[in-house]
Structure 1
């Protein structure tokens, strides 16, 4: 076949491919996309401006979704925020379990790695958003009722993932109580960090605090 013929044949194939319509998304896919945009916009707003300023109008504008669509999926603001919190919890749990699964079972530093994984969670944006929500929930009974079961589920799932992180590292009989103490210390430190202006923060306290928490956890 001559070069000219090959070129014409290739052009015809490409032209046909370009004219081939993409498969249309199903209604379920479009709904999932709209719902996802609303939830992601809610999470971003909660982190940036807090619960009080996270209005449905702000969320729909950020998501690029109509107010009517928002009302269809989430009739009330607390429904929208509640679903967004569920999404936040799922992300925190998924991140921790995925990181845990990637660790070698025989790693001698698994306890230290466990603490680092937990600290990365508590010092991240997702936890900061949860803190803001809990503060708001102190004066909002409806929001409080939404948060309590999610917090319990998240704590249960994190506790379930931790033995996977430790792997073959022996744990003391009172390990659950030790873990609760360590997590309480982390939450306190994370809370302090979350509300301290970045410009006024000193050296990272984690490298100094981690050895003490490691002793509490396993010694």
Structure 2
């Protein structure tokens, strides 16, 4: 199995939290799972490291990157800056089969019995919109941002009440594409991303740095 195929499978496992944030990725274990030598595993981890999904520490191995609140906000801000820009291209390039595929994915999300199934369909929904645009470089950037935030989006859908509104927003996007309304699509994308960003940011636990002089303050009175 080539490194690129291994990287894609690990990428999917990270998106779906099979490998949760902070999980060590041990080369020997991965080599055994995939039935390959350590060489393609090292290359696959290197690929994921360049994408920011994995942290590579010399002498310490690889771990799934754990995002801070600032990281999450940065990723969503980048998506908010870039994703609406593809709306005119999506509307111009979308064909009936594309709209039908997006509709099928939206229906899958509505009927999904668990969050994992919903998240898989959600990833494919957004990824297909990127592909429809035909903007290859922008597609690659957005796909990387989507992959990075996907494990955290599970909380928005599964615990923070974002699923119902997201389902409605996806259908509105499909309607805008079908109507050829790029301006409406761009506006819907912004609302969709901003709502998810705000839910996650407000729920994210921020750990304040301890005051290094607290002990002295307490005893100096």
Q: TM-score, normalised by structure 2?
A: 0.32
Give the number of the structure whose alpha-carbon radius of gyration is greater. 1
The structure whose residues are more often helix, as a share, is: 1
The structure whose residues are more often strand, as a share, is: 2
